[in-house]
Amino acid sequence: MRCYINVALKLVVAEERSLRKRMSLMKDFGCLKGGQVDIRWKSKAYKMMILEMIEGLTLVQELYSPQGNLLDEEMLAAMVANVFGVEFPNCRQLIDQLFARKKGVTPFLDQMVMAIRLEADKRNEWKGKKK
């Protein structure tokens, strides 16, 4: 019986340590009121980057609401506001600006595609060396 109590006590202590570590990490990342995380973007044009992702998700027509409705830009912008804490009061205007670009419509998405391809190449190369 005493053995079970010791094991249970060790588990409680380990869980408490884990909880403290998670809380410390949340504090380090600067959690805001309401459970949102304060994210600092490297670029100053982060709203347009987020909008590129939103427009890409809208155009591939893969995200639907629980009621079965296709999510549009405004709905996705509202979701992004909850996740990233970035508001898009002029969403429609920014979308018009996105498609009016002269040099490449989606430079951020293009960078993401290239980064994914490079990582895939590295991983395939690594798998090849293992044989």
Asked whether residue 31 carries a pLDDT value surpassing 80, the answer given is no
Distance CA 97, CA 115 (A): 25
Q: How sure is the predictor about 34, in pLDDT bands with cuts at 50, 70 and 90?
A: low
Q: How many residues appear in the chain?
A: 131
Identify whether the C-beta of residue 65 lies closer than 8 Å to the C-beta of residue 71.
Answer: yes
The 10s digit of each residue's pLDDT in 69-128 is 999 988 899 888 887 778 888 888 988 998 998 888 889 999 999 999 999 999 887 766
The 10s digit of each residue's pLDDT in 3-22 is 667 766 777 777 777 777 76
Q: Where are the alpha helices (DSSP H) in 65-105?
A: 73-84, 91-99
pTM: 0.62
Distance CA 39, CA 97 (A): 24
- Give 57's Cβ-side CA count (13 Å radius): 18
